[in-house]
């Protein structure tokens, strides 16, 4: 009796064969291609951070009263508030002001642009070196440059996770009621709304990690000359770690 998973096994094998052929074709120019791919993911991540800020601004229409950050502490104003100085002028400002929460979150999100600019290349380097070490321990014969190329291709599916995350957050916030009276209350409401998307986000992560597994396995086969079983084990260790991190 044929195994019920035989069709799936053949499909995965076909994907691995085609992916391996791709790596064998691009190997002579893998360095330039790898840098281009990392640049693509980096710029896309920056755009994703800005899009997240736009999502907060577009879906959260609440105002709260907060301490005015441009006004000195009350003790300072009691001592110098009557002076004809910059401190005195600032003490004339109101103690509390109304702020648009969506706009504030958009501004705060912009602080994470540096993650896209520097975090993606750093993560690429760490992953590539770890992958190279695992391949060498398994008997691989490829160079460090080959491992960097594999890692660069494995980063590309992260664009799918980025798009899925943005869509899920936008949907969660647009369908939730965010009307807390304080920043802390609104923050809790936002966390709760995004938490309802945990299942779909984990499913998207599983799909992305599966695609990355195929890429890494075929890359290890093509450029490190590992057999499929060994390559699958090495890639599986990284995939398991990635899924655990996604599930946390």
pLDDT digits (tens, 9 = 90+) for 125-177: 999 999 999 999 999 988 999 999 999 999 999 999 999 999 999 999 999 88
**Cβ neighbours of residue 76 closer than 8 Å, sequence gap 6 or more:** 87, 91
Number of Cβ atoms within 10 Å of the Cβ of 116: 20
pLDDT value at residue 1: 47
Mean pLDDT lowest for which of 45-49, 80-84, 150-154, 182-186? 80-84
Percent of residues, the chain, with pLDDT higher than 70 = 92
Domain-located, residue 91: no
> Does residue 52 or residue 74 have the better pLDDT?
52
Domain region containing 174: 6-63+99-247
pLDDT > 70? residue 202: yes
> What ranges in the chain are assigned the alpha helix state H?
6-26, 30-59, 74-80, 86-91, 101-109, 113-114, 120-137, 144-155, 158-175, 183-195, 198-224, 228-247
pLDDT value at residue 92: 78
Domain-located, residue 76: no
Domain-located, residue 46: yes
> Residue 54 — pLDDT band, cuts 50, 70, 90?
very high
Domain-located, residue 109: yes
Region 75-95: what's the mean pLDDT? Answer: 74
Domain-located, residue 71: no
pLDDT value at residue 206: 95
Region 47-70: what's the mean pLDDT? Answer: 88
pLDDT tens digits along 142-151: 899 999 999 9
**Total domains in the fold of the chain:** 1
pLDDT tens digits along 14-29: 778 677 787 877 765 6
pLDDT > 50? residue 188: yes
Domain-located, residue 123: yes
pLDDT > 60? residue 95: yes
Token digits of residue 180: 């807390």
Mean pLDDT lowest for which of 7-16, 92-101, 125-134, 202-211? 7-16
Specify whether the CB–CB gap between 150 and 128 falls below 8 A. yes
Domain-located, residue 173: yes
Number of Cβ atoms within 10 Å of the Cβ of 128: 23
Mean pLDDT of the chain: 87
Domain-located, residue 80: no
pLDDT value at residue 9: 67
pLDDT value at residue 84: 62
pLDDT > 60? residue 109: yes
């Amino acid at each position: 009796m044929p195994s019920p998973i035989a069709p799936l096994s053949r499909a995965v094998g076909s994907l691995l064969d085609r992916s391996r052929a791709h790596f064998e074709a691009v190997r002579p120019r893998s360095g330039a291609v790898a840098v281009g791919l990392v640049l693509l993911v980096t710029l896309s991540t920056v755009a994703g951070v800005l899009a997240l800020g736009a999502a907060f601004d577009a879906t959260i229409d609440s105002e709260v009263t907060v301490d005015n950050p441009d006004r000195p502490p009350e003790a300072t104003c009691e001592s110098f508030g009557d002076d004809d100085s910059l401190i005195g002028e600032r003490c004339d400002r109101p103690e509390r002001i109304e702020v648009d929460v969506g706009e504030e979150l958009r501004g705060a999100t912009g602080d994470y642009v540096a993650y896209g600019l520097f975090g993606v290349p750093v993560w690429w380097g760490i992953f590539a070196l770890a992958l190279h070490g695992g391949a060498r321990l398994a008997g691989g014969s490829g160079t460090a440059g080959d491992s960097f190329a594999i890692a660069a291709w494995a980063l590309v599916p992260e664009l799918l996770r980025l798009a899925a995350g943005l869509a899920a957050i936008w949907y969660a916030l647009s369908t939730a009621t965010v009307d807390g009276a304080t920043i802390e209350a609104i923050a809790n409401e936002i966390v709760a709304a995004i938490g309802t998307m945990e299942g779909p986000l984990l499913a998207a992560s599983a799909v992305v990690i599966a695609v990355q597994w195929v890429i890494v396995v075929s890359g290890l086969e093509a450029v490190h000359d590992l057999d499929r079983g060994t390559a699958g084990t090495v890639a599986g260790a990284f995939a398991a770690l990635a899924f655990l991190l996604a599930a946390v």
